[in-house]
Structure 1
Amino acid sequence: MSDIYKDINSNYERLSEAEREVIHFILKFEEIEGLKLKDIKDALYISNTTVIRACKKLNYATFNELKAAFIQSREKKKQIYPKQSNFLHVLDSIKKETLTTLELVDEKNIDKICNCLINARRIFCIGTESSAQVASEFNDKLKSIDFWTNDFSDKRLIERIPKISTFQDVVVVFSLSGRHEELDEIMIEAKCNRTTIISVTNIAATKLKSISTYCVLTSNTGNQKKFCSRLMLHMMSNLIYEKLITKVPIFDGTSRN
């Protein structure tokens, strides 16, 4: 994982709302080499001080240092995936989202998540609306390797989880937007039972990230179509599963529990 994305991941919660807008603006800016402080200031109606403060919170002393880190990261991407002039725009968007999301991955974090799933008595996979399919497919994958797991997309069923979950259980939340107040409140209730909360959501989901015991982040798509974000959720769920099957023992056909 490149340093710039590691720094964003580690320090995102320290940023104010205005400072987060600065980072989102830079992430979506196409020609990073030509980006100036004035461009950010004029686009977001903020002061230079706000931009510099965001840089420092991410461990970069100046705006130029932060910009250089982004440039270095994007140059590496170009070396791996050279730009094709006739490439469809939608595929180009997927490529960018995929690369950015993969750079947010922390292998140690994925390893800890896998250990939690292996040691869980029960696993509750949650997804609402556009995220429900991701939760359902992840639930099916876990069942295929003999984990006790169920998926939940109906609000009434999700509300029951804090009433039955314990410190031995794990809740895995897939959230496209990461901004679902009712779901956040339910997760807080479950966490009061010392239930482990694992979330797979986008980088802007500050509250859900703070609630979660472990969080896997995807790139924030801004104004892009929802299908791209959902694809990133699928990708991260597959990454967790692929890592998980390297850690679980060979089963003899009997239940794990």
Structure 2
Amino acid sequence: MDTVYRHIQNHYDDLSSTEQLVIDYILNNGDFLNLKMKVIQKSLHISAPTIVRAIKKLSYRSFTDFKYALANSEKQESALNSEESYELLISTFSSDFSRTIAMMDKDKLYAIASVVLQSHRIFCMAMGSSVSVVNSLNRKLKQFGLWSNNYTEAAPFRDIADVATKDDCLLIFSLSGKEEQILASVVENKTNGVTIISVTGFSNNPLANLSDISLLTYQTPQKRTKLRSRLMLSVASEIIFETILLKNEEENK
């Protein structure tokens, strides 16, 4: 199911920043089959070999193979444009959910679970509409018996570096991965050896690049820059917590 998105999740960190821009552009275009390589070259001011190199790093032989893999993973795409707004909304959520699930890499999830279970303290961070996701996860981590606290404003972010050590981790949820207050805290805590875990929307963003472990979710590009749905972040949060429970059970057998 949607193996193309699993390939992207597995190899996205292997791409250079320019190659990540290529993949982001292709995914945001949507009309995969009609997308021409020369359009990407002109839009991003890059060469054809760069585009091909990015695609080959994702384990696809050619630009055409990659386009057809994307198109085949969402056969309902052509029907979405003719549906009523409600049906479009439901179909979009369904498509985003399937892609996000496909991108949930087992190795990364187990790595996150291991860090969380071994950490002395877990600092859960978010801003804006992502706060509800962090509050829910923080509550469950506490109920599970872990030391966890939620930080959702700029002032408390600055305080974390005063107490966090290499035995702790930051668990951050951010759709854009670009909030300056969060990035400033991440940079400061990295110098203290704190493990940084991030869950972001699918994009070439600074938070994912700064993280020790980054997990990506998919969301269909929207015209709204504010009030975007955090549903896929919530999906990732639930999967992370369930993986923590599973990892703990396996270790205590």
Q: Give RMSD over aligned pairs.
A: 2.7
C-alpha spacing 1:167/1:15, structure 2 compared with 1 (3 Å) = closer
SS of the residue corresponding to residue 125 of structure 2 reads: strand
TM-score normalised over the length of structure 2: 0.82
TM-score normalised over the length of structure 1: 0.81
Greater shift after overlay, 182-191 or 234-243? 182-191
C-alpha spacing 1:48/1:65, structure 2 compared with 1 (3 Å) = farther
- Contiguous gaps of at least 5 residues in structure 1: 250-257
Instruction: Tell me which of the two structures has the higher relative contact order, counting C-alpha pairs closer than 8 angstroms and 6 or more residues apart.
Output: 2
Task: Report % sequence identity.
Answer: 30
Structure 2 counterparts to residues 92-131 of structure 1, below 5 A: 92-131=91-130
Q: Does residue 23 of structure 1 match 2:23? A: yes
Paired residues, what number? 242
Give distance in 1, aligned partners of 2:160 and 2:17. 32
Give distance in 2, aligned partners of 1:119 and 1:89. 43
Greater shift after overlay, 204-213 or 217-226? 217-226
Aligned to 1:4: 4
Aligned to 1:33: 33
SS of the residue corresponding to residue 150 of structure 2 reads: strand
Give distance in 2, aligned partners of 1:176 and 1:149. 21
C-alpha spacing 1:228/1:185, structure 2 compared with 1 (3 Å) = closer
Aligned to 1:253: none
SS of the residue corresponding to residue 149 of structure 2 reads: strand
**Residue 139 of structure 1, CA deviation:** 0.6
Q: Which amino acid aligns with 2:67?
A: K
Give distance in 1, aligned partners of 2:92 and 2:128. 23
Give distance in 2, aligned partners of 1:192 and 1:48. 37
Cα shift readout 1:11-62 (whole Å, capped 9, x = no counterpart):
3552444x444423432444433443355456x3646615334323434332
Q: Which amino acid aligns with 1:68?
A: Y
Aligned to 1:246: 246
Aligned to 1:58: 58
SS of the residue corresponding to residue 197 of structure 1 reads: strand
C-alpha spacing 1:65/1:97, structure 2 compared with 1 (3 Å) = same
Give distance in 2, aligned partners of 1:38 and 1:200. 33
Aligned to 2:135: 136
**Residue 220 of structure 1, CA deviation:** 4.7
